[in-house]
A and B are shown apart, each in its own frame.
Chain A
Amino acid sequence: MRARTADRPQKWGNPFTYFVALLFIGTCVAPVLYIVLGGFRTNAQISTSPAGLPEPWVASNYLNVLKSVTFWGEFANSLVVALASTVGTVLLGLMVSFVLARYDFKFKGAMYSLFAAGLMFPLVIAITPLYIVVKDLGLVDNLLGVIVPQIAFGLPMTVIILVPFLRAIPKEIEEAAAIDGTGRLGFFFRMVIPLSRPGVVTVGILAFIGSWNNYVLPLYVLNSQANFTLPLGVQAFSSQYSVDTAKVLAFTSLAMLPAMAFFAAFERKIVGGLTGAVKG
C-alpha cells in the first residue's frame, strides 16, 4: 500500500508514520504527564474532574514536598545506594569481564557460564533466601544490605554486555602496548577502560536506573523510615496521605525525576551499548 513511498528518500517521510509515531508517543507519555500535572492541581480539582488539566496551577504540593525532610532524606539514601551500586557493579564487572575476554585459562568457560546463568535468577526470585543471608550478616536496615546484593545481581548483565566490548579491542593494541613495556594490567588501566567507555556507560546507566527503581530488596532489608529509599518512600507516602491525591502525585513525580534526567542525558549511549550486546 503505502509501502513503496517509504522507499523513496524524502525529507519528511509519509504522514502515516508520523501519525502512528505520535499515537505511540502519546500513549507512552500521557500517564507520566498525568502524574506530573496532577501534582499541580488541588484535591478538589482532581475529584471533580479526574482527567482535567490544572486550573489554576498550584505549586504548593511540589513546594511542600521539596521542603520536607523526609523526601530529601529518602532522596539521599537512594542516591548513595545507586552511586555505590553503580561504581561497584561497573568496577567488579569490568575487571572480571577483562579476564573473561582477554585471558586464556582452564575455567574460563565455566566462569562465563556461571555469570551468564545468573541472568536466569533475577533478584525477585531469590529474595527470600537472599534476605536470610543479609540478615545473618547483620545488614538488615543497613544501606550496605541493599548495595552489595545489587552489585551481585548486576554482574550477569554487566558481564554479558562488557565481554564482547573488551574482546573487540584489537590484539594489535595490546601487542603495541606490550612492546612499549606495558604489562597486561597497565594495558587494562590505560587502554581498556578508555576504549570500552560506551559499554561501561551503558552498564553504568542500567545499574544506576535499576538501583534507583529497585523496590523488593529495600522492602525486605530496610525497615526504619530514616533508611528508606525513594520507592519505599513513595509507597509509605501514598498510604500515609491516601486521601491527599495531589500531594502523592507531586511526591511521586519528584521521585522519578533523577532517573529520567539521567536517562535523557545518556540515551544515545544506552542504545549504542544494547546494539553491541545484541551483536555479541
Chain B
Amino acid sequence: MSNTLGTEPADGHQSQGTPGAGSAASSARPAPPPAAARRRRGRAKLRLEIAVLSGPAILVFLAFVIFPVALAAFYGFYRWHGYGPPTDWVGLNNYKLILTDPAFQQVLWHTGVILVLSLAVQGPLAIGLALLLNQRIRGRSAIRVLIFLPYVVSEVIVGTGWSLMLQSNGALNDLLRHVGLGFLQADWLADPDLAIWTLLGIISWKYIGFAVILMLAGLQSIPEELSEAAQIDGASYWQIQRRITLPLLGPTIRIWAFLSIIGSLQLFDLVYIIWGPYVAGTAGTSTMAIYMVGQGRNAGNYGYGSAIAVVMFLISLVVALLYQRFLLRRDLQGAITEGAS
C-alpha cells in the first residue's frame, strides 16, 4: 500500500515532462527490423505503452476506490474502534443491528423520499425550463451562467446561507411578513413535519440548474431539421415537443436521472451543515450517510461504520444495476455493458 502512495504523487509531478513516456516514444524511431521480430517487438512495445499509460490511473483507482470497499467488508464483521488490528469478531451482528435499528429504517425512508421526489420535482421542471430557454431569446449565455450558479456554490456555503435565511427570525419569514403572507411563516428547519420539505426545496434549488444545463445540451444536439420538417407537415409546437424532442431527449433524461439518484443516495453535506448529525434525527432529515458518520466516526465505532458503508454500497449497487439493466442500457451501450468498442 505505501508503495502505491510513494509513486503516485511522483507521477503527478511528472506531468509536464513525462520523461518515462517520452523516452518510450523516441525509442520507436530506429530502422525497421525484420517482419517477425518487428511484430514481436511491436507487441511488447504495445503492452508497455498500455501499462505505462493506464498503470497509474488503475493503481490509484484500485487503492483508493476498490480496496476500501473490500476493507469495509472485512471490518464490518468486527466490533472495532479504529486502533490496532480488529480482534473482536462479531460475525453478522453489525448488520443485524443496522437492519433492526429503527433509526436506520428512518434514514432509509428519508433517503427514499428524497430520491423519488427529487426526480419527480426536478425532472419535469428542468425539461420545461430547458424547452423554454432553448428558444431564440436574448441573453442566453448569461442565463446559463446564472442558473448554474447554485450548482457551483459548495454545499457548505449553500447550507450556511440557507440555515441563516430559514431561521425562525431569518430572512424568509421576514420577507413573507413584508409581502403580506405572514400566515405562511414557519419554523422551516426545526418543525419535524416541515423540515424534509425544506430540505427538498433546498436540494431542488441547488441541483435544478445542473439538470436544465444538461437538458439544454441534449436539446442542442437534436438536429433542427427534424422539427422544421414536422413544422412543414403542419405539426404544432406541442406536437413537435412531444413526438420529436422528448423522445430524442431520452438519453439525456435517463443519464440525468441516474446522476440524480446517485446524488440522493449519498446526500450528506447539506444535511450535516444545516442540521448536524443529532438535530437531523429529530427534525426528520437524516440520511444514510448522516447515519453512517454519526454512528461510525463520531461514535468511534469503525467496525459498525464500515458495516453501514457496506449496506450503502449494496443499496447503491442494486439501484444502479437495476437502472442500467432496464433504462440506461441503450445509452451507454459499448460503455458499461460491453466495454469500449
Q: Mark A9-45, 1 if CB is under 8 A from B, else 0.
A: 1101100011011001101110110110010000000
- Select from chain B the residue with minimum beta-carbon distance to A271: B217
- Inside 8 A of B11's CB, which chain A residues have their CB? 91-92
Q: Write out the residue numbers on chain B whose beta carbons fall within 8 Å of the beta carbon of A10.
A: 136
By a CB distance below 8 angstroms, the chain B residues around A280 are 335
Q: Max chain A CB contacts within 10 Å: which of B54, B220, B263?
A: B54
Q: Is the CB of B60 within 8 A of A51?
A: no
Q: Do B160 and A234 touch across chains, with their CB atoms under 8 A apart?
A: yes
Does B192 have its Cβ within 8 Å of any Cβ on chain A?
Answer: no
Q: What residues of A have a CB within 8 angstroms of the CB of B137 in the complex?
A: 12-13, 17-18, 21
A-B contact count (CB 8 A): 344
Residue interface mask B52-89, A partner, CB < 8 A = 1: 01101110110111111101100100000010000000
Among B24, B61, B153, B263, contact of A114 (Cβ-Cβ < 8 Å): B61
User: Nearest A residue to B176 by beta-carbon distance?
Assistant: A51
Q: Are B161 and A129 in contact (CB under 8 A)?
A: no
- Interface residue from B57, B220, B263 paired with A155 (Cβ < 8 Å): B57
| Among listed A55-63, A104-112, A168-176, interface-contacting one | A104-112
CB of B252, distance to nearest CB on chain A (Å): 5
Contacts of B135 in A (CB 8 A): 6, 13, 17
**A105 vs B43: C-alpha distance in the bound complex, in angstroms?**
10
Interface residue ranges of B137-165 to A (CB < 8 Å): 137-138, 141, 143-150, 152-158, 160-162, 164-165
Q: Looking at chain B, what size class is its interface with the partner chain?
A: 35 or more
10 contacts between A and B (CB under 8 A): A84-B12, A105-B50, A109-B341, A112-B340, A114-B58, A114-B61, A124-B266, A155-B60, A185-B49, A234-B156
**B8 CB–A CB distance under 8 Å:** yes
B106 within 8 A of A: no
Instruction: Tell me the residues in window 104-135 of chain A with beta carbons closer than 8 Å to chain B beta carbons.
Output: 105, 108-133, 135
Which 8 pairs across A and B sit closest by C-beta, in order of nearness? Answer: A109-B339, A213-B154, A3-B237, A152-B64, A185-B25, A183-B28, A129-B68, A129-B72
Check A50/B169 contact, CB under 8 A, given A28-B150, A212-B154, A215-B155.
yes
B1-53 residues at the A interface, CB under 8 angstroms = 1-2, 5, 8-9, 11-12, 15, 18, 21-22, 24-26, 28-29, 46-47, 49-50, 53
Q: Is A49 an interface residue (CB 8 A)?
A: yes
Cβ A263 vs Cβ B152 within 8 A: yes
Contact flag A125-B5 (CB < 8 Å), given A12-B137, A92-B11, A120-B320: no
CB distance from A197 to the nearest CB of B (A): 16
Residues 171-230 of B at the A interface (beta carbon under 8 Å): 171-175, 178, 205, 208-209, 213-214, 216-218, 220-221
Q: Is B64 within 8 A of A121, CB to CB?
A: no
Closest to A214 in B: B154
Residues from chain B with Cβ under 8 Å of A87 in the complex: 12, 15
Q: Does A243 contact B (CB under 8 A)?
A: no
Would B58 and A111 count as touching, CB distance under 8 A? yes
User: B-facing mask of A182-216, CB < 8 A → 1, else 0?
Assistant: 01111011000000000000000000010011011
Whether A35 and B61, one on each chain, are in contact in the complex, defined by CB atoms closer than 8 angstroms, is no
Contacts of B29 in A (CB 8 A): 181, 183
Q: Given A50-B165, A151-B12, 12 more contacts at CB 8 Å? A: A50-B169, A50-B173, A115-B61, A118-B65, A120-B316, A127-B292, A137-B5, A148-B60, A155-B65, A188-B53, A252-B160, A259-B152
Q: Is the CB of B53 within 8 A of A98?
A: yes
**CB <8 Å contact, A185 and B21:** yes
A51 x B64 contact (CB < 8 A): no
Q: How far is the CA of A119 from the CA of B162 in the complex (A)?
A: 29
Within the complex, what minimum Cβ distance (angstroms) separates A227 from chain B?
16
Decide: A231 and B156 in contact? CB cutoff 8 A. yes
Give the residue name and chain of the B residue nearest to A131 (CB): B297
* Nearest B residue to A267, CB-CB: B145
B305 at the interface (CB under 8 A from A): yes
Residues of B within 8 A of A264 (CB): 145
Contact B305 A128 (CB under 8 A): yes
Query: B293-330 toward A: CB 8 Å interface, digit per residue (1/0)?
Result: 10011000010011011001100110010000000000
Residues of B within 8 A of A252 (CB): 157, 160-161
Q: Are A132 and B68 in contact (CB under 8 A)?
A: yes
Chain B: minimal CB distance from A159 (Å): 8
- Among B47, B71, B149, point to the contact of A260 (Cβ < 8 A): B149
**B216 — which chain A residues lie within 8 A by C-beta?**
271
CB distance from B167 to the nearest CB of A (A): 8
Asked whether, in the complex, the Cβ of B160 is within 8 Å of the Cβ of A271, the reply is no
Taking CB atoms, residues of chain A closer than 8 Å to B56 are 92, 95-96
- The answer to whether A111 touches B54, judged by C-beta atoms less than 8 angstroms apart, is yes
A148-B64 contact in complex given A21-B133, A125-B289, C-beta closer than 8 Å: yes
Of A96, A122, A144, which is within 8 A of B262 by CB?
Answer: A122
Whether B129 is near chain A, meaning CB under 8 Å from some CB there, is yes
State whether A101 touches B340 (Cβ < 8 A).
yes
Taken together as a complex, chains A and B put the C-alpha atoms of A93 and B56 apart, in Å, by: 9
Q: Which residue of A lies closest to B339 (CB)?
A: A109
Residue of B nearest to A150 (CB): B64
- Which residues does chain B contribute within 8 Å of A3, judged by CB atoms? 236-238
Q: Does B121 have its Cβ within 8 Å of any Cβ on chain A?
A: no
Distance to closest chain B CB from A34 (angstroms) = 6
Q: What A residues does B238 contact at CB under 8 A?
A: 3
| Interface residue A279 (Cβ < 8 Å from any Cβ of B) | yes
Which residue of B61, B129, B141 contacts A24 across the interface (Cβ within 8 Å)? B129
